């Protein structure tokens, strides 16, 4: 097996992780508005590189997903800030908790708006329709994430710059979640138009984005068509997200099926950042685990696996490692039975590292980060078919495809961890295993309650190294808002302290009076659902 442990790389990871997984930065927001490399004068295609990587690494794979994994019980927090989030001791209600994530998502929104403005107004960039479409899709993505976690939040006045590069609005107003989602959908529609059925080409004088796009740029002949599929996948995701607010649910569910049909045909097409090489480029969950070692196997998640005789447990988990050597790549034993995992109880763990088993995927150094996956799209299809009624055979086929793809994604992460970091391990989650599991365990439960089993299987599939816990958190809140209590969480503190949203970032709580007033003492995160989950803001 391979081991990558150069001292220089690991030190670099420590510094990198401090930037994405702590909430201690005081001057980062100030630096956002500094422009040492004068990006206003850089070709838009170079900004696309940073925008794509930062969206994947920080918006998808960073703190939003880490904290969501604890709240949604994909993991149990057992050290430092994730322990405090686990036991609801200050962390969910303080403005510093999500400050780095706040900074990163708004930096992405700003950069996306810069690219769009350049493509619309700069003579050398006009005609770069693929570049502009990518920026619009990633603006929609980051805007939706900001709205999903913060609810009503600044958006329309953020990232608007004066000619000298300074912010036009130093204290941007708070927009409603509803209005932000209107912009999100419009940006996706605009991108779809620009991509011209997947045939669009950049024609600006500054040159095509090409390989500067690290998500789909490795094959420029299919680049536009892959981004088009992504736009439709996101349309499906966000239309389902807003279903509780739909004026015509039947029409919207049928639209979701249309969007799915125009999206990914298989996992090779899904939107992901797959540049991690287990050396200088590292999966963000691995980076956090190496630096902090703050997560343990979740008892409630493993209970759900056990209830279904699910083959993902025990093979996706490690036994406790009292030596702590796993954090240095010299240990770790893959669990062979459930008892050997020693899962951490949700809400009441000891604050003690290396006492519990952990998810093996925490050590998948090169597992890709998924902006939106093929298995998510198939789960959306299955859910839409279940809700429409009368199409359960089709729904069952879509669910089977989703589970099979989810198994493959998890298996790849387990094998990656075994090959690059964990002392030993293997995985057997191939298509034949998925089919047997579906026939023996899932199908009877689906026949009894199709929608419930579809949503539970989606929740289980979003456990992993790919940053999908945030989507599981969004689904949970959406379902609760509709009175659908399909996913049972076990943290006893959830009775009155389940985080219904994330609190605003400290930089703007301190600097923006409107944000400060909306934040108050931070306790609103426990009482005020976001708009699409049945709340007012």
Tens of pLDDT, residues 494-510:
999 999 999 999 999 99
Each residue of 40-73: pLDDT tens digit?
478 999 999 999 999 999 999 999 999 999 999 9
Whether 94 maps to a domain, the answer reads yes
Task: Scan for tokens 């419930």, then name that residue.
Answer: 452
Q: How far apart are CA 528 and CA 90, in angstroms?
A: 17
Whether 18 maps to a domain, the answer reads yes
Q: Measure the N-to-C terminal CA separation of the chain; round to a whole number of Å.
A: 50
Strand-pair partners of 175? 153
Residue 442 DSSP SS3: helix
pLDDT at res. 488: 98
pLDDT at res. 145: 99
Task: Tell me the two tokens of residue 30.
Answer: 């100030």
Q: Is the pLDDT of residue 6 over 70?
A: no
Q: Is the pLDDT of residue 383 over 60?
A: yes
Q: Are 321 and 315 in contact (CB under 8 A)?
A: no
Task: Tell me the two tokens of residue 279.
Answer: 């050396």
Q: How far apart are CA 227 and CA 223, in angstroms?
A: 6
Each residue of 514-529: pLDDT tens digit?
999 999 999 999 999 9
pLDDT at res. 24: 45
Whether 295 maps to a domain, the answer reads no
Q: What is the largest CA-CA distance in the chain?
A: 65
Whether 394 maps to a domain, the answer reads yes
> Comparing C-alpha atoms, which of 175, 296, 184 is closest to residue 237?
184
> Comparing C-alpha atoms, which of 49, 367, 412, 376 is closest to residue 216?
49
Q: Using pLDDT thresholds of 50, 70 and 90, give the confidence band for residue 34.
A: low
Whether 30 maps to a domain, the answer reads no
Mean pLDDT for the chain overall: 94
Whether 335 maps to a domain, the answer reads no
Strand-pair partners of 504? none
Task: Scan for tokens 């199409």, then name that residue.
Answer: 391
Which residues are within 8 A (CB) of 268 and not within 5 positions of it... i.e. 6 or more apart?
A: none
Report how far apart, in Å, the C-alpha atoms of 213 and of each of 102, 119, 138, 279 are. Answer: 24, 16, 12, 21
pLDDT at res. 327: 85
Average pLDDT of span 170-197:
99
The CATH number of whichever domain residue 92 belongs to comes to: 1.25.40.390
Which residues are within 8 A (CB) of 535 and not within 5 positions of it... i.e. 6 or more apart?
A: 151, 481, 500, 528, 529
User: Which string of DSSP letters, residue by residue, matches 113-178?
Assistant: HHHHHHHHH-TTTTT-HHHHHHHHHHHHHHHHHHHHHHSSEE-TTTT-B-TTSSBS-SSPPEEPHH
Domain count, the chain: 1
For residue 509, say if its preceding peptide bond is cis, omega within 30 degrees of 0.
no
Residue 76 DSSP SS3: strand
The phi and psi torsions of 371 (rounded to 5 degrees) equal -75, -45
- Range(s) of the domain holding residue 258: 7-22+42-286+364-533
Q: How far apart are CA 464 and CA 220, in angstroms?
A: 30
Q: Is the pLDDT of residue 19 over 50?
A: no
User: What is the CB neighbour count within 10 angstroms for residue 37?
Assistant: 9
Task: Tell me the two tokens of residue 355.
Answer: 């006492």
Q: How far apart are CA 362 and CA 346, in angstroms?
A: 18
User: Which string of DSSP letters, residue by residue, matches 394-424?
Assistant: HHHHHHHHHHHHHHHHHHHHHHHHHHHTSSS
Q: Using pLDDT thresholds of 50, 70 and 90, give the confidence band for residue 121.
A: very high
Whether 459 maps to a domain, the answer reads yes
> Comparing C-alpha atoms, which of 364, 315, 323, 361 is closest to residue 341?
315
Pick from 65-79, 167-181, 421-435: least confident = 421-435
Which residues are within 8 A (CB) of 273 and not within 5 positions of it... i.e. 6 or more apart?
A: 52, 53, 56, 57, 214, 215, 368, 369, 371
Q: Using pLDDT thresholds of 50, 70 and 90, give the confidence band for residue 331.
A: confident
Residue 528 DSSP SS3: coil
* H-assigned helices in 242-373: 249-261, 284-292, 299-307, 312-315
Whether 339 maps to a domain, the answer reads no
Q: Which of 259-263, 288-292, 416-420 has the highest mean pLDDT?
A: 259-263
Residue 203 DSSP SS3: coil
> Comparing C-alpha atoms, which of 377, 346, 359, 286 is closest to residue 73?
346
Which residues are within 8 A (CB) of 256 and not within 5 positions of it... i.e. 6 or more apart?
A: 236, 239, 240, 380, 381, 384
pLDDT at res. 14: 40
Pick from 18-27, 50-59, 64-73, 92-101: least confident = 18-27
> Comparing C-alpha atoms, which of 296, 371, 391, 286 is closest to residue 10?
286
% of the chain at pLDDT higher than 90? 90
**Residue 524, CB-side half-sphere exposure with 13 Å CA sphere:** 22
Q: Is the pLDDT of residue 30 over 60?
A: no
């Amino acid at each position: 097996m391979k081991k990558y442990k150069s001292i220089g790389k690991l030190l670099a990871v420590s510094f990198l992780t401090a930037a994405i997984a702590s909430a201690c930065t005081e001057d980062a927001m100030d630096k956002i508005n500094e422009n040492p490399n004068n990006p206003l004068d850089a070709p838009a295609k170079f900004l696309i590189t940073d925008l794509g990587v930062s969206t994947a690494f920080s918006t998808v794979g960073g703190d939003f997903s880490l904290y969501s994994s604890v709240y949604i019980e994909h993991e149990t927090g057992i050290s430092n800030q994730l322990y405090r989030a686990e036991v609801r001791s200050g962390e969910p209600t303080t403005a510093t908790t999500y400050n780095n994530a706040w900074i990163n998502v708004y930096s992405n929104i700003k950069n996306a708006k810069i690219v769009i403005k350049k493509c619309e107004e700069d003579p050398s960039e006009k005609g770069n329709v693929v570049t502009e479409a990518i920026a619009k899709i990633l603006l929609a993505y980051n805007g939706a994430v900001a709205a999903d976690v913060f609810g009503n939040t600044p958006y329309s006045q953020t990232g608007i710059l004066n000619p000298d590069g300074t912010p036009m609005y130093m204290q941007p107003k708070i927009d409603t979640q509803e209005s932000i989602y209107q912009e999100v959908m419009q940006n996706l529609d605009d991108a779809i138009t620009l991509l011209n059925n997947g045939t669009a080409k950049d024609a600006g004088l500054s040159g095509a984005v090409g390989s500067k796009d690290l998500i789909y740029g490795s094959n420029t002949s299919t680049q536009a068509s892959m981004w088009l599929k992504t736009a439709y996948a996101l349309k499906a995701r966000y239309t389902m997200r807003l279903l509780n607010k739909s004026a015509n649910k039947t029409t919207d569910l049928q639209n979701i099926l249309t969007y799915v049909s125009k999206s990914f045909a298989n996992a090779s097409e899904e939107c992901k950042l797959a540049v991690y090489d287990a050396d200088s480029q590292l999966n963000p969950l691995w980076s956090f685990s190496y630096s902090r070692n703050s997560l343990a196997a979740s008892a409630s998640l493993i209970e759900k696996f056990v209830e279904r005789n699910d083959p993902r447990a025990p093979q996706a988990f490690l036994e406790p490692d009292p030596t702590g050597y796993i954090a240095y790549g010299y240990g770790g034993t893959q669990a062979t039975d459930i008892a050997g995992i020693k899962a951490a109880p949700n809400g009441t763990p000891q604050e003690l590292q290396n006492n519990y088993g952990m998810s093996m995927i925490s050590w998948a150094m090169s597992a890709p980060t998924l902006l939106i996956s093929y298995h998510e799209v198939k789960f959306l299809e299955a859910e839409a078919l279940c809700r429409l009624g009368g199409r359960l055979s089709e729904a069952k086929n879509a669910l089977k495809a989703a589970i099979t793809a989810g198994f493959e994604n998890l298996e790849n992460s387990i094998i990656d961890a075994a090959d690059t970091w964990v002392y030993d391990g293997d995985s057997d989650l191939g298509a034949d295993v998925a089919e047997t599991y579906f026939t023996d365990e899932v199908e009877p439960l689906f026949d009894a309650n199709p929608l419930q089993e579809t949503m539970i299987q989606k929740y289980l599939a979003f456990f992993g190294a790919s940053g999908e816990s945030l989507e599981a958190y969004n689904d949970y809140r959406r379902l609760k808002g509709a009175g659908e209590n399909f996913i049972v969480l076990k943290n006893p503190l959830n009775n009155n302290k389940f985080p219904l949203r994330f609190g605003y970032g400290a930089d703007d709580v301190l600097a923006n009076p409107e944000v400060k007033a909306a934040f108050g003492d931070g306790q609103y995160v426990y009482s005020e659902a976001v708009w699409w989950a049945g709340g007012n803001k």
